[in-house]
C-alpha cells in the first residue's frame, strides 16, 4: 500500500515515465565501475581525488601544456583568457575569467581534468591537475604561490565573484 502511494505521487509529475513501464534491461553497476566513470566534482569537493599541488609546481605544467592556447600567465589568445578582469563585470565589455567570474574553485579542477589540455585531455595526473588549478588561482590572486591545493583545501577557496550568482530555476510545485 505504501509503495502504491509513493508511485502515485511520482506519477503526478512523471507524465512520460508513468505512461509506460520499462523492461528492466539495465545491468547493475559495481562500485569499481562507477569509480572509473565518475569524474565530476561538486562544489563541496565531493569526488576530488587524492593528490596535491602548488602554484609553483603548476607553472611548470602550465607552461608546458597550456600556454600555447591560453598565453603567458593565462593572458589568453588564441583561446580563453584565464586571468584578470576583476571589477569589469558592470562594464559594457566585461572580462570574464576564472578570477573575475567563476563562482567555484572546484570547477577549475573538474574542467581541467575532464577537458584539458584540449588536444590531449585525460593525460594530466591528479597532482598536475591540482598544481595547474593552484597556479590559475594564484595568478588571479585568490590563493598564494605556496598554498597547497588538495581535496580538503580546494573546496574551501572562496572565489571573488562567488556571492554574485542567483539561480533563475524554480522547482515546479508538487501537485
Partner 1 sequence: MTKSKGLDSLEPVAGNGLLHRRLFLTGSAAVLGATFMTAKAAPPEVPAWMKTPGMPMRAYGERSPHEAGVQRLVGSQPGTTGSGASRTPLEALEGIITPSSLHFERHHSGVPDIDPAQHQVLVHGLVERPLIFSMDALARYPLVSRIQFLECSGNSGGNNNAEAPQQTAGGIHGLVSCSDWTGVPLGILLEEAGVKPAGRWLLAEGADSAAMSRSVPMAKAMDDAILAIYQNGERLRPEQGYPVRLFLPGYEGNMNVKWLRRLKVTAEPTMTKDETSKYSDLQPNGRSLLFTFPMEAKSVITSPSGTQKMQGPGLYQISGLAWSGFGRIRRVDVSADGGKTWGEAALEGPVLPMALTRFRMPWRWDGSPSVLQSRAIDETGAVQPSRAALMAARGAQFRYHYNAVQSWSVAAAGDVSNVYA
Q: How far is the CB of 127 from partner 1 (least distance, A)?
A: 20
Contacts of 32 (CB under 8 A, 6+ apart): none
Quick one: which of 25, 32, 50, 156 contacts partner 1 (CB under 8 A)? 25
In this structure, what C-alpha cell is assigned to residue 106?
572546484
Looking at 60, 64, 121, 125, which residue binds partner 1 (CB under 8 A)?
121
The contact mask relative to partner 1 for 26-55 (x = CB under 8 A, - = no) is: xxxx---xx--xxxxxxx------------
Per rule CB under 8 A, is residue 15 in the interface with partner 1? Answer: yes
Residue 20 or residue 50: which is nearer to partner 1 going by CB?
A: 20
- The single-letter DSSP state of residue 36 is H
Exactly one of 2, 20, 156, 175 binds partner 1 (CB under 8 A); that residue is: 20
63 to 85, 123, 133, 147, 154: CA distances (angstroms): 21, 15, 13, 19, 22
* Residues between 122 and 151 that touch partner 1 (CB under 8 A): 122
What is the rounded CA–CA span in Å between residue 87 and residue 71?
22
**Could you give the CA distance from residue 162 to residue 105 in angstroms, rounded to a whole number?**
10
| Contact assessment for residue 102 and residue 161, using Cβ atoms and an 8 Å cutoff | yes
Residues paired with residue 149 on neighbouring β-strands, in sequence order: 53
DSSP bridge pairs for 112: none
Site string for partner 1, 77-116 (x = CB under 8 A): -xx---------xxxxxx-x-x--xxxx-xx--xx--xx-
Q: Does 19 bind partner 1 (CB under 8 A)?
A: yes
Judged by the rule CB under 8 A, the positions of this chain that interact with partner 1 are 10, 13-29, 33-34, 37-43, 69, 78-79, 89-94, 96, 98, 101-104, 106-107, 110-111, 114-115, 118, 121-122, 161, 164-169, 171-172
Amino acid at each position: 500500500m505504501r509503495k502504491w502511494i509513493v508511485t502515485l505521487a511520482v506519477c503526478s509529475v512523471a507524465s512520460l515515465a508513468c505512461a509506460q513501464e520499462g523492461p528492466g534491461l539495465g545491468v547493475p553497476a559495481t562500485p569499481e565501475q562507477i569509480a572509473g566513470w565518475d569524474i565530476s566534482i561538486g562544489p563541496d569537493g565531493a569526488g576530488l581525488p587524492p593528490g596535491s599541488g602548488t602554484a609553483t609546481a603548476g607553472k611548470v605544467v602550465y607552461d608546458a601544456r597550456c600556454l600555447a592556447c591560453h598565453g603567458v600567465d593565462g593572458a589568453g589568445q588564441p583561446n580563453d583568457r584565464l586571468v584578470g578582469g576583476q571589477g569589469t563585470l558592470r562594464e559594457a565589455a566585461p572580462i570574464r575569467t576564472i578570477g573575475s567570474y567563476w563562482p567555484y574553485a572546484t570547477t577549475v579542477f573538474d574542467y581541467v581534468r575532464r577537458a584539458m589540455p584540449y588536444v590531449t585531455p585525460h593525460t594530466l595526473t591528479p597532482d598536475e591537475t591540482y598544481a595547474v588549478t593552484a597556479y590559475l588561482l594564484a595568478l588571479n590572486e585568490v590563493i598564494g604561490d605556496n598554498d597547497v591545493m588538495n581535496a580538503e583545501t580546494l573546496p574551501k577557496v572562496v572565489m571573488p565573484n562567488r556571492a554574485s550568482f542567483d539561480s533563475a530555476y524554480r522547482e515546479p510545485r508538487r501537485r
